[in-house]
Structures are given as C-alpha cells and as structure tokens.
Amino acid sequence: MSFFKKLKDKFSGSQEQEQTTEKYTEGLKKTRSGFSEKMNNLFARYRKIDEDFFEELEEILIGADVGFDTVMELIDELKLEVKRQNTNEPEAIREIITEKFVDIYAGDDEMSSELNIQDTGLTVILFVGVNGVGKTTTIGKLAHQFKTEGKKVMLAAGDTFRAGAIEQLEVWGERTGVDVIKQTEGSDPAAVMYDAVRAAKSRGADILLCDTAGRLQNKVNLMNELQKVKRVIEREVPEAPHEVLLVVDATTGQNALIQAKTFKEATDVSGIVLTKLDGTAKGGIALAIRKELGVPVKFVGLGEKMDDLQPFDAEKYAYGLFAQAFEQKESESADETAE
C-alpha cells in the first residue's frame, strides 16, 4: 500500500479525523494548487532522474518557502534513495518526497506539538510576535477552544502600547465569554501581568492567555519588556509561563523565519503559531521553521472561522500539501487499468 493511501485510510477512521483533514486540505488550497501544478509538470517532463531534474525540484521547493537548508538536506536524501532503489524513474520518488516531509516534522519525538497544559493549578501561556500577525485573534480562538473543552479561561491585555489592542482583546473576551484583565493604554505591561496572574489564581482559572506588545521604540526595548513580563509571571507562578508561543504570519514567507529567529534569541520560545496559512501560496514555511529553528509549530491558522485554528499535524499537513497530485495520479492509474 502506498504511503499516500495509508494516510488517506488513516484519516477516514472517524468523523473528527475527516473534518480536520478537510480543514488542512481546504486551508492549503493556495499552496497546493501552485505547488502541485509545478510538481506534476516536473514529473511529466522528465523521463529519467538526472541533475537537471533535481535542480528544478530544488527550485520548486525553495519557491514554496520550504527553506534553503531544508531543501538541500531533502535533495541529498532523495539522491541517496534513488541510488538505494537503483531507479532513475521520477515517479519512484514522488511518494518519498511526501514521506520525507513528514519525517522532517514527526521524526523527532522530543519535538512535541502538544501544549504543556498543567494537570492542576494555573497554566500560563504567553503570546509574542510583531504587530499584524494575528496574535490577538489567535488568543481569542484558543480561548474559545479551551472553554469548549470545559476549562476556565482568562485573558491578560498586556499589549498596552498599540492603539486599540486592549479593546480588540475585550471584543474577543465578550465573544468567547471570558474575563479580560486590563489597565489603561500605555500602562506597564508587567503590572498588567501581575494583576492578571493574581486574578486568575484567586478566581480559580485553569488557563491564562497573555497578550504582549509587538513593537516598542526598538528591538532591544521590546525584548527587554518581554523578559520583564516573564520574570513577573515566574515570581507568581513558578515554572511559568508554561508556553511561550510565537505567532508568525505565513504570508510573509522568509520574513516569518527571520522574525522567529529574532524572538528565539531573546525569549524561550516553546512553539510557533503559524497564521494565515490559507492566504499564501508558499506553505512550506512550516517545514523551514521546524528544521532551521528546532521549534515545533503547535498551531496553524487554516481559515477565518473560530475552529480553523488547528493543532499542527505533520501527516495532515503533508497530505494537504500533496493531495491533489496523488489523487490525480490515482485517477490516471485507475483509467489505465480500466482500459
């Protein structure tokens, strides 16, 4: 049984699996349409695997924002696989590419995509990232998900510098039915966090989601502010924050990777939330972030709806990225068999 067929069968096991698979397939439509077309053209034009074939494949992958280092490693592994199988037929490595994508993400058991939610007591999750990446929206959607799971959630309006940021978080608080701890615009973010953690503990909250500033006068100021916020939280809840999630916009491509590197240097980023994946034709950035930063993508934004923010799943990601190409191939094979 082919690797792709195994994935397809695996995801058809339950209604929930099928629904989330559909979200990935739909959310990656823009990436897949351009990516699959280029891949299909590549496989159609080459009768044998040679250096020209690998060079074009390299260009396609880099063009999808997979990342230079990741692409080079992937190409090297494909070349070894071609030698191992003693083949020069392009179709022989079509599925191997998909398997390698999954391996890049799911191959490291220590790199978990699951959130570090505490069994007892308060879990504090800090969100960082530049303005405009969808940080506040991500917080609102996660608040909704946690509340749906029966958890008591609170929000901390720590972005006190951006005009309208507090009000935006309050709108999400009203929409999801959770309390928002805030101060006035321009207040000390660390003071807001202090109030929020104390309030969350006294009210018996399970999860506190903390918004932070995305821009101050310069990068040094921003990073110093984030460090100060973390120290205040840690004083009130030892070992907190339990997660520091960096929110990046997938549509910015390599800029997202640069942002991730910058924040990782200054804060203990434990995971990435990759937003607006449905709005880009270069969805390979998830692989670049995982491979080049050693930080797992924990959530992906696959649409505008409340439940379109999904936990990252490497197999569903690969399936969503390659589905069109494989289904077309299966259809062609079925037609040939019928003839």
Query: What is the enclosing helix (H) or strand (E) of 258?
Result: helix 254-266
Query: Is 204 part of any known ligand binding site?
Result: no
Query: What is the rounded distance in angstroms from the CA atom of residue 229 to the CA atom of residue 245?
Result: 14
Q: Are 230 and 126 in contact (CB under 8 A)?
A: yes
Query: Is 119 part of any known ligand binding site?
Result: no
Query: Is 164 part of any known ligand binding site?
Result: no
Instruction: Centre a 10 Å sphere on the Cβ of residue 290 and count the other Cβ atoms it contains.
Output: 23
Query: Is 67 part of any known ligand binding site?
Result: no
Q: Are 203 and 122 in contact (CB under 8 A)?
A: no
Query: Is 235 part of any known ligand binding site?
Result: no
Across the chain, how many H-helices and E-strands are there? 13, 8
**Structure token pair of residue 217:** 């006068």
Query: Is 150 part of any known ligand binding site?
Result: no
Tokens 């058809």 label which residue?
12
Query: Is 63 part of any known ligand binding site?
Result: no
**Structure token pair of residue 97:** 């590419």
Q: Are 290 and 104 in contact (CB under 8 A)?
A: yes
Query: Is 212 part of any known ligand binding site?
Result: yes
CB-count exposure of residue 63 (10 Å: 0-12, 13-18, 19+): middle
Query: What is the enclosing helix (H) or strand (E) of 270?
Result: none
Query: Is 255 part of any known ligand binding site?
Result: no
Query: Is 275 part of any known ligand binding site?
Result: yes
3-state secondary structure of 154: strand
Residues 6+ apart with CB under 8 A from 134: 247, 249, 275, 276, 301
What's the one-letter identity of residue 168? Q
Query: Is 86 part of any known ligand binding site?
Result: no
Query: Is 213 part of any known ligand binding site?
Result: yes
Query: Is 301 part of any known ligand binding site?
Result: no
Q: Are 151 and 206 in contact (CB under 8 A)?
A: yes
Q: Are 247 and 138 in contact (CB under 8 A)?
A: yes
Query: Is 294 part of any known ligand binding site?
Result: no
Query: What is the rounded distance in angstroms from the CA atom of residue 242 to the CA atom of residue 197?
Result: 13
- Annotated binding residues: 129-136, 211-215, 275-278
- Annotated binding residues for GTP: 129-136, 211-215, 275-278
